[in-house]
Amino acid sequence: MASITNDIAETAVLDARSSVAAADPCAIVIFGASGDLTHRKLIPALFELAACRSLASRFAIIGFARSEMSDAAFQDSAAEAVRKNNGGCPINDNDLRSFAQSFVYVAGDYDQPEAFEKLSRRLEELDEERHLEGNRLFYLATPPAVYPRVIAQIQKAGLAQPAGDNSWVRIVVEKPFGHDLASARKLNRTILEVFEETQVYRIDHFLGKDTVQNLLALRFGNGIFEPLWNRNYVDHVQITAAESLGVEQRAAFYETTGALRDMVQSHLLQLTSLAAIEPPSNFDATAVRNEKLKVLQALRPYTPETVATNVVAGQYAQGQIDGEDVAGYRQEPAVKSDSVTETFVAAKVLIDNWRWADVPFYIRTGKRMRRRVTEVAINFRRAPHLLFRGQGIDTNTMVLNIQPEEGISIGFHAKLPGQQMRLAHVAMDFSYLAAFGASERSAYATLLNDCMRGDATLFDRADGVEAAWAFVQPIFDAWERQRRSVPAYPAGSWGPREGDELLSRDGRHWRKP
Ligand code: NDP
């Protein structure tokens, strides 16, 4: 395995922390502020923004939830959340103290208009005190079933529209956006009765990762890859999002969700659309999202027959991860002993357009797989005439590693030193860590900053979300009609035999990352 040095001029090394503009002054209202997402992700991300000066100096964070809590208790829990979830980065105590002081808490029920009137008064006071220019960002971090009630109360309290010409009101809606096509459409209608589409930020934190955005940088920031990025040179594409963890504490949620909803409809289709997208005319929200939508609309729809042949579900059974015995899914607490919830999905996806006709995109995701890895692998066609037969020459592959080791690796063949003409497989590796250091901003920090600056490029639009659901809906429908059992795979493997057969039938095989 060869590797090239990341030869980057000093001046070209971007300091990711300083490369983002400060956001507008604003009040951030988090609904569900006593919960897991708020403490594990949102508060640490906001601290990251505050500490690197890309949160405006004038801001307020208002937590709203049903639990009773004083401002001081919320400030303490915010400081604790930062200490616990800061990924081990050093924390300046003064920074943390002044950050936590911007937290305010409002307790209330989502059915009580008085609670929202109190919220409205608090917002006005803070606006005046801290000169927030009337800008408001609402973040829905409650269970999804609560979203419609929150939205209705925001409207009733007169908070949905900006107070002045120069101020803004935006709303962030967490994933999952609906649990099927009908509910996603209904949620879109509910939101769009109250907010304009331009106010709505449907978040999928995957898109906040630098390495996911790097798919676009690689393709459209370079002249050498794009000419190869089509059916003339690409044999097939493999997209993997594997986790070695099981369902952990989330079994109750997972039992009603499964891998198709949790991963395929969102993350895997996002990666598919970014890998397959046509060059947008510019890098703005409308152009990029228009092109992503075109890919989703070009996905060949499944029929009940093609669901049976092209989509595989699986469920992890007992096995070993890193030499340790681990329980099967059905033995996990809060999982039914006869559960048919899928913890693995593999699918052959076809894109009916000129660029990708007949190039399969094989996608797979699973829990309790051999190792944690997310990658997009572009497998190129074989050389047209093989000069070096009998040397086990494989095709060339370009792998975009999204996690855990972020980077790009291109596999090719080189002559082994020596008298004879013998070839070996080598790789050119680009590592994010080696090139840019570990100063990568967290995905939530990137997306919150985008939202406060009004940049919706990395957020889903109503039509995009619905197109993704429309693509997976026939799978749910077919499974509902037919599925009585799910193939098992041992924890610590790469999924069930049926997943391998999906490719071996086409004369291909999954990469073993
Ligand atoms: P939690 O289950 O921790 O709920 C958040 C808060 O919502 C709770 O603290 C609770 O506060 C309130 N809540 C719970 N049930 C109800 C209810 N029936 N009615 C009103 N309020 C309720 O959720 P998370 O924080 O884990 O997730 C929030 C949202 O973010 C969800 O939509 C989730 O799917 C999404 N998400 C979460 C991720 C994560 O890592 N946690 C990752 C990606 C998305 P109180 O009782 O004080 O009102």
**Could you tell me which residues come within 8 angstroms of residue 467 by beta carbon, excluding any fewer than 6 positions away?**
293, 296, 297
Q: Evaluate: CB of 142 within 6 angstroms of ligand 1.
A: yes
User: Catalytic site residues?
Assistant: 267
pLDDT of 438? 64
- Give residue 123's pLDDT: 96
Three-state SS for 453-498 is HCCCCCCECHHHHHHHHHHHHHHHHHHHHHCCCCCEEECCECCCHH
- In this prediction, residues 217-240 reach a mean pLDDT of 96
Q: What DSSP line would sit under 186-230, residue for residue? A: HHHHHHHTTS-GGGEEE--GGGGSHHHHHHHHHHHS-TTTGGGSS
pLDDT at 6 exceeding the cut of 50: no
Q: Which domains does the chain have, with CATH numbers?
A: 23-174 (3.40.50.720), 207-504 (3.30.360.10)
Cβ pair 373, 405 in contact under 8 A: no
Q: How far is the CA of 55 from the centre of ligand 1 (A)?
A: 24
Residue 11 has pLDDT above 60, yes or no: no
Write the pLDDT tens digit of every residue in 121-175. 999 999 999 999 999 999 999 999 999 999 999 999 999 999 888 999 999 999 9
Share of the chain above pLDDT 70, in %: 95
pLDDT of residue 122: 96
Q: Is 175 in the pocket of ligand 1 (CB under 6 A)?
A: yes
Give the atom of ligand 1 at the shortest distance from the alpha carbon of 144: 32
Q: Which residue's CA is minimally distant from atom 8 of ligand 1?
A: 35
Calculate how far, in angstroms, residue 270's C-alpha sits from the geometric centre of ligand 1: 24
| Residue minimizing CA distance to atom 30 of ligand 1 | 141
Distance from the CA of 387 to the center of ligand 1, in angstroms? Answer: 60
- Rounded CA-CA distance 266/465 in Å is 8
pTM for the model: 0.93
Q: What is the pLDDT of residue 81?
A: 95
Identify the residue whose C-alpha is closest to ligand 1 atom 22: 142
The rounded Å distance from CA 36 to ligand 1 centre is: 7
Please indicate whether residue 289 or residue 3 has the higher confidence score (pLDDT): 289
Identity of the residue numbered 250: R
The best mutation among 41, 142, 177, 257 to test binding of ligand 1, ranked by most ligand atoms within 8 Å of the C-beta, falls on 142
